[in-house]
Structure 1
């Protein structure tokens, strides 16, 4: 039985957990590839790689796009173009996407817990979007993202005593589970908005607690 009362820290992924944005990120990757001059097949290959490596930084994905899909050098100019264009595509879509129902109620029920966001998304972009959506104040522990990866962020924040054990990571991808487990955090998988194929099999194999969404957490002791 999940007992939120025991946790000093709650760590949230963003896409598919706080924001219903996984499908929007897929649209943004496809559009960015097309804007760069890729054909539909190449753009879809980038989308497939993004889905396969959910939670991994966009820097890694665009390097793969250039080197492995387009078979060209990953120059800084091309990477910068892709990052800038993708950021624009994402911001347009995330300005109005759905926020997880129950998020504010859960914050009130876990008032003694430290809350953080640790995402594969760009950190500056995340902080801007959270400020625009009036979500920043919920996360007293901070909002963190790439270019640092989740392993690096969790190790740093644990070292700074910003993630205090026991701690729970609330995510929707394999990388969320793998990185949080390496850091010694408990994990719960939210599946309502996930884009991970075969998540049921993965979660059953690893004995992961699954819930549909943030609102479902309100039914557990806080």
Structure 2
């Protein structure tokens, strides 16, 4: 694997958060389900919320919550109701993000790619990530910063390339369809990490698009 991927060539490495840096995809699924239940949703409504979240992948939660209220609950979207869902989701998620596993090879990968600057780019809420990562002692790994929702990854990439923060050649390490589309659309190389992904049809998708697949971060180091 390491022969196919020369990590030394990259000046910038962009990492997705959920399923790449943190083993938090199931955490996010549970947070959507429990948010729906805590605010009076049925099991079926909560499951529909989860299904929509998985279908959309790395899209900021704002869009998913709006969809849940208008299309699944079929009630009027008011600022108060929207905020109630956002606050509940944040509260549930915060408890669990502090506990979920960090990729075991993260520091090894950092050391192996000392020539590159790192950036975290997530579909998760930006202000939340910028609070949690320092609390977990992970923020210093990302010299180029931590970026998230509600701004979409495509927009972040466009801005950061335009202002010179992302230097090429650049690599994006992700675990979703949207990670692949956003990064390659912006001219970055892409590697798909499969062990923690919650993308249902990832094998077929990666084969169809001839994507480099690595089981976990250790494998990128040739372990």
Band the TM-score falls in, shorter-chain normalisation: over 0.9
Q: Offset of 1:105 from its aligned partner?
A: 1.2
Q: Matched residue of 1:97: which SS?
A: coil
1:100-111 paired onto structure 2 within 5 Å: 100-111=103-114
Q: Offset of 1:160 from its aligned partner?
A: 1.4
The answer for unaligned runs of 5 or more in structure 1 is none
User: Contact 2:58–2:179 at 8 Å: present in 1 too?
Assistant: yes
2:33 is the alignment partner of 1:33: no
> 1:76 matched to which residue of 2?
79
1:193-212 paired onto structure 2 within 5 Å: 193-212=196-215
> 1:133 matched to which residue of 2?
136
What are the superposed Cα offsets for residues 130-187 of structure 1, whole Å, 9 maximum, x if unpaired? 1111000000010000110000101111111111111010000000001111111110
2-structure distance, mates of 1:6, 1:62: 40
User: Contact 2:12–2:166 at 8 Å: present in 1 too?
Assistant: yes
CA RMSD of superposed structures (Å): 0.9
> 1:191 matched to which residue of 2?
194
> 1:49 matched to which residue of 2?
52
1-structure distance, mates of 2:218, 2:82: 38
Q: Offset of 1:37 from its aligned partner?
A: 1.2
Q: Offset of 1:108 from its aligned partner?
A: 1.2
How many residues are treated as equivalent by the alignment?
220
> 2:154 matched to which residue of 1?
151
Q: Matched residue of 2:221: which SS?
A: helix
TM-score normalized with structure 1 length? 0.97
Greater shift in the superposed pair: 170-179 or 74-83: 74-83
Specify which of 6, 20, 28 is matched with residue 9 of structure 2.
6
2:194 is the alignment partner of 1:219: no
- Flag as ranges the 4+ runs of structure 1 deviating above 6 A: none
User: Contact 2:15–2:21 at 8 Å: present in 1 too?
Assistant: yes
User: Contact 2:35–2:88 at 8 Å: present in 1 too?
Assistant: yes
Q: Matched residue of 2:198: which SS?
A: coil
